Protein backbone atom coordinates (compact mmCIF):
# COMPACT_ATOMS: atom_id res chain seq x y z
CA UNK A 1 0.00 0.00 0.00
CA UNK A 2 1.32 3.39 -0.95
CA UNK A 3 2.00 5.93 1.83
CA UNK A 4 -1.21 7.76 2.60
CA UNK A 5 -3.43 5.01 1.21
CA UNK A 6 -2.79 2.34 3.81
CA UNK A 7 -5.57 1.10 6.04
CA UNK A 8 -4.90 -0.16 9.57
CA UNK A 9 -7.89 -2.45 9.20
CA UNK A 10 -6.62 -3.94 5.92
CA UNK A 11 -3.11 -4.39 7.34
CA UNK A 12 -4.51 -6.13 10.43
CA UNK A 13 -6.66 -8.38 8.22
CA UNK A 14 -3.64 -9.40 6.18
CA UNK A 15 -1.56 -10.11 9.28
CA UNK A 16 -4.33 -12.19 10.88
CA UNK A 17 -4.82 -14.24 7.72
CA UNK A 18 -1.19 -14.86 6.81
CA UNK A 19 -1.29 -12.55 3.78
CA UNK A 20 1.97 -10.79 2.98
CA UNK A 21 1.30 -7.08 2.95
CA UNK A 22 3.77 -4.34 2.02
CA UNK A 23 2.96 -0.91 3.42
CA UNK A 24 4.75 2.37 4.12
CA UNK A 25 6.77 1.93 0.93
CA UNK A 26 6.74 4.07 -2.18
CA UNK A 27 6.77 2.02 -5.38
CA UNK A 28 8.48 4.81 -7.31
CA UNK A 29 11.39 4.97 -4.85
CA UNK A 30 11.68 1.26 -4.00
CA UNK A 31 11.44 -0.12 -7.56
CA UNK A 32 15.16 0.36 -8.21
Residue 30: give the domain boundaries.
1-32
**What pLDDT digit, counting tens, does each position of 1-32 carry?**
666 778 899 999 999 999 998 888 877 777 76
Nearest C-alpha neighbor of 11 from the set 24, 3, 21, 2: 21
Residue 32, pLDDT score:
62
Residue 15, pLDDT score:
93
Residue 2, pLDDT score:
65
What is the count of structural domains for the chain? 1
How many Cβ atoms are within 10 Å of 15's Cβ, its own excluded? 11
Residue 16, pLDDT score:
97
Amino acid sequence: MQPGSESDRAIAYCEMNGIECVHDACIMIDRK
